[in-house]
Amino acid sequence: MKYAIFGDIHANLEALHTVLEDAATRGCDQYVCLGDVVGYNANPRECLEIVRGLDCPVVKGNHDEEACLNTSLECLNPLAAHALKWTRDALEQSDRDWLSALKLVRQVRDFTIVHATLDTPGGWGYVTNKFDAMASFSYQFTSLCFHGHTHTPRFYVKHGSVEALAVDEIHLETGKKYFINAGSVGQPRDGDWRASYAVYDVDNQSVAIHRLEYDIETTQQKIRDAGLPEMLATRLAAGK
């Protein structure tokens, strides 16, 4: 059994298609979504429809939450406010209902999924180092947990102390705990523009990160055609 574990799609339809095709090629028969289906890019409804169609476990991301609220945009910087208003206007009530109903933390088989952190899942803190990871590990009751939110793939391993590993693949060992960031499908920020997701191979007890080139020019053109900020198109190519 193989799980394709993906998140931070951020309305990037081309990247999502590419990831799902790759997952099928690798023999993944289960899907898990780590949240932030919408926000930033130009195909929120199309991405929502695909994720809903997979009928898989999904947790809520901060952009999924924001997109459903009617809060004022005044406190945000003008770029973020513009993009968020665009996303809110693009969604239908049925999309908002579906996003609003998502849980912050879920257990799937023998592992946990969360968008940001297990210590304050609705506080949307960022795990960027082993100290942040330690706080999350205190609330992790399965040996394996997947998360996203930083848009940077990373393996945090707890065996007494905590280590942060920027590797492509890891073999799971009993007695250790793993908090694994699958990276971002639709807006990677680790300097590598390629879409990122994880494959959890249950039989082999391994987790691998895969990076995939996709049709970024189309995604960028859609951002421009939608009148979204140009910066959202240029950052995609820079991977940040």
Residues within the interface to Zn ion (CB under 5 A): 8, 36
Q: For the CB of residue 135, give the shortest distance to Zn ion in the complex, in Å.
A: 20
Q: For the CB of residue 194, give the shortest distance to Zn ion in the complex, in Å.
A: 16
**Residue 110 and residue 226: Cα distance in Å, rounded?**
41
Q: For the CB of residue 200, give the shortest distance to Zn ion in the complex, in Å.
A: 20
**Residue 207 and residue 155: Cα distance in Å, rounded?**
9
Q: For the CB of residue 125, give the shortest distance to Zn ion in the complex, in Å.
A: 13
**Residue 133 and residue 89: Cα distance in Å, rounded?**
36
> CB pairs under 8 A, 24+ apart, for 116-121?
116/61, 116/62, 116/147, 116/148, 116/149, 117/147, 117/149, 118/145, 118/147, 118/179
Our CB check for Zn ion shows the closer of 36 and 66 to be 36
Comparing CA positions, the residue from 97, 127, 105, 93 lying closest to residue 34 is 105
Q: For the CB of residue 184, give the shortest distance to Zn ion in the complex, in Å.
A: 6
Our CB check for Zn ion shows the closer of 109 and 189 to be 189
Our CB check for Zn ion shows the closer of 36 and 201 to be 36
Our CB check for Zn ion shows the closer of 36 and 132 to be 36
Our CB check for Zn ion shows the closer of 150 and 220 to be 150
Sheet containing 195-201: order of strands: 30-33, 2-6, 195-201, 206-212, 169-171
Looking at residue 58, what DSSP letter applies? B
DSSP tally for the chain: helices H, then strands E? 8, 11
Q: ∠ CA 62-209-222 to the nearest 5 degrees?
A: 55
Terminal CA-CA length for the chain:
33
Q: For the CB of residue 63, give the shortest distance to Zn ion in the complex, in Å.
A: 6
> Closest CB to Zn ion belongs to which residue?
36
Our CB check for Zn ion shows the closer of 91 and 162 to be 91
